[in-house]
């Protein structure tokens, strides 16, 4: 199989370097005009340069199904087939290298059937144990290429952080291949993590919606939190602007995780994922996770109350749905569906807070998860305690502004795109 795959893919890298025409997908709800300058990812640029930065080194790559070329070949298959690259190992994050595991799972240590390469599991590993994995793999350079979605609690950015720290401990070079932030890089939104609440859904104090790309975050992580100890190289994109939504890139969308099916999901996720910290369904087990929210006993009054708020850029539809798994599996429940109609005006985190505030006010069955998971997601007790005390959305948002402004100032130092 390996030889056959090498044969099939031998010409792919050359086509990338020559600037082969791309194909791409767009979200149907927000059609965009063709970009004046197509976005070229970090991998595109690396391939066009003939992989020069990787020459003469044993390479390991941290990636998942989102690590694809313009024509949707997986980059591991492409690199493995190219004699200019000595790819010797793959490292899989949450959900696994090939993406077969659900939330909170991974694929474990195995050999990839397609390439024969050893695949090491990084999920929940950090510090010296992860450094030991890099050492055992005998790689010289660790490459990172995973599509992020822009939310602090999406674990791939903390896989990035943990792998950077481990690479420094193991004496390995670290290369980040950049991809767009599908929610744009216009601004940061939401509360900044209190370090006392650090977990794998938030290692360091950044905003809930960080408004950065993976390469930008890597630069920030190295300088602000890792003491500049990482031998870091970032390969940036061309043709991407901070205001670009994903459908303007003309890049193919591959779901980064099983419940992130479209860029529309990523747009709302940094706000509506907060419902993981409640007893309401966040839409897992439906075709529109994080856009559908609800529970037994909720009716159209929730959507009506949200509509009265006139939140910028978003409308709310009364909705009824039956999740196939997760909360309320097999039961028909009531709630709302978010419809973002003016993306440029939409603030996902403020919207998420408004949803929580109105749900608690209108539904007598509302409850936080008993483990106070909401505090891990929001990064402190502030949101939960203020909602419980009857605070308004505006009061809660105002309370996190000082920390957010401080983060925005730090963030500007590491931005790579206009």
User: Model confidence over 95-138: pLDDT tens digits?
Assistant: 888 776 667 777 778 899 889 999 999 988 999 999 999 999 99
CATH number of 263-380: 3.90.1150.140
Span(s) in the chain for CATH 3.40.50.12170 = 2-248
Q: What is the C-alpha to C-alpha distance for residues 172 and 235, in angstroms, rounded to an integer?
A: 17
Angle at 143 between CA 56 and CA 202, to 5 degrees: 155
The whole-number average pLDDT for the span 275-300 is 98
Q: Are 164 and 174 in contact (CB under 8 A)?
A: yes
Ranges 109-113, 200-204, 278-282, 311-315: which has the least confidence: 109-113
**Residue-level pLDDT at 33:** 56
* Confidence band for 7, pLDDT divided at 50, 70 and 90: very low
Pick from 301, 339, 303, 336: nearest CA to 319:
336
| Alpha carbon distance 65, 78 (integer Å) | 13
Contact 384, 352 (CB under 8 A): no
Angstrom distance (rounded) from CA 122 to CA 104:
13
Fold of the CATH domain 2-248: Rossmann fold (3.40.50)
- Give the whole-angstrom CA distance, residue 184 versus residue 187: 8
* pLDDT tens-digit series, residues 150-162: 999 999 999 999 9
Evaluate if residue 390 carries a pLDDT over 90.
yes
CATH 3.90.1150.140 residue ranges in the chain? 263-380
Annotate 47-63 with b (16+ C-beta within 10 A) or e (fewer). beeebeebeebebbbbb
List the beta strands (DSSP E) in 149-291.
173-177, 189-192, 207-209, 231-235
pLDDT at 18 over 80: no
Nearest to 159 by CA among 188, 208, 115, 202: 202
Percent of the chain with pLDDT strictly greater than 70: 91
Adjacency order of strands within the sheet including 231-235: 110-111, 118-121, 86-92, 58-63, 141-145, 173-177, 231-235
Residue whose structure tokens are 């966040």? 282
SS3 49: coil
Mean predicted lDDT score pLDDT of the chain: 91
CA distance linking residue 319 with residue 43, whole number of Å = 41
Element (H, E) at 133: helix 127-137
Q: Which of 241, 247, 320 is nearest to 286 (CA)?
A: 320
Please, are residues 246 and 264 in contact by the beta-carbon 8 Å criterion? no
The Cα 335–Cα 342 span in angstroms is 22
Residues 6+ apart with CB under 8 A from 405: none
């Amino acid at each position: 199989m390996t030889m056959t795959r090498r044969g099939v893919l031998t010409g792919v890298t050359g086509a990338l370097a020559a600037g082969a025409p791309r194909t791409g997908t767009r979200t149907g709800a927000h059609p965009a005009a063709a970009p004046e300058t197509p976005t070229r990812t970090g991998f595109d640029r690396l391939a066009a340069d003939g992989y020069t930065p990787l020459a003469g080194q044993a390479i390991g790559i941290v990636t998942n199904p989102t690590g694809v070329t313009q024509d949707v070949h997986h980059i591991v298959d492409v690199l493995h087939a190219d004699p200019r690259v000595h790819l010797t190992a793959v490292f899989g994050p949450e959900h696994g290298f090939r993406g077969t595991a659900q939330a909170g799972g991974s694929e474990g240590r195995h050999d990839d059937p397609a390439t024969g390469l050893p695949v090491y599991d990084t999920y929940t590993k950090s510090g010296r144990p992860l450094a030991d994995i890099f050492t055992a793999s005998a790689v010289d350079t660790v490459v990172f290429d995973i599509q992020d979605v822009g939310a602090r609690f999406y674990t791939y950015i903390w896989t990035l952080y943990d792998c950077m720290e481990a690479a420094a401990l193991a004496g390995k070079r670290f290369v980040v291949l950049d991809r767009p932030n599908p929610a744009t890089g216009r601004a940061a939104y939401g509360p900044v993590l209190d370090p006392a609440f650090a977990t794998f859904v938030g290692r360091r104090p950044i905003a809930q919606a960080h408004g950065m790309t993976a390469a930008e975050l890597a630069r920030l992580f190295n300088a602000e939190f890792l003491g500049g100890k990482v031998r870091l190289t970032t390969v940036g994109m061309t043709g991407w602007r901070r205001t670009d939504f994903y459908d303007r890139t003309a890049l193919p969308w591959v779901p980064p995780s099983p419940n992130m099916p479209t860029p529309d999901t990523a747009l709302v996720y940094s706000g509506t994922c907060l419902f993981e910290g409640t007893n309401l369904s966040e839409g897992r087990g439906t075709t529109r996770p994080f856009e559908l929210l609800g529970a037994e006993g909720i009716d159209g009054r929730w959507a009506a109350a949200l509509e009265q708020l006139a939140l910028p850029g978003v409308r709310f539809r009364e909705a009824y749905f039956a999740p196939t798994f997760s909360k309320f599996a097999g039961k028909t429940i009531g709630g709302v569906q978010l419809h973002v109609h003016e993306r440029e005006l939409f603030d996902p985190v403020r919207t998420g807070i408004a949803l929580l505030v109105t749900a608690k006010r209108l539904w007598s069955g509302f409850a936080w998860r008993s483990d106070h998971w909401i505090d891990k997601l929001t990064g402190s007790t502030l949101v939960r305690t203020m909602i419980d005390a009857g605070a308004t959305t505006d009061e809660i948002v105002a309370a996190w502004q000082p920390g957010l402004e401080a983060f925005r100032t730090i963030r500007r130092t590491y931005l790579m795109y206009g």
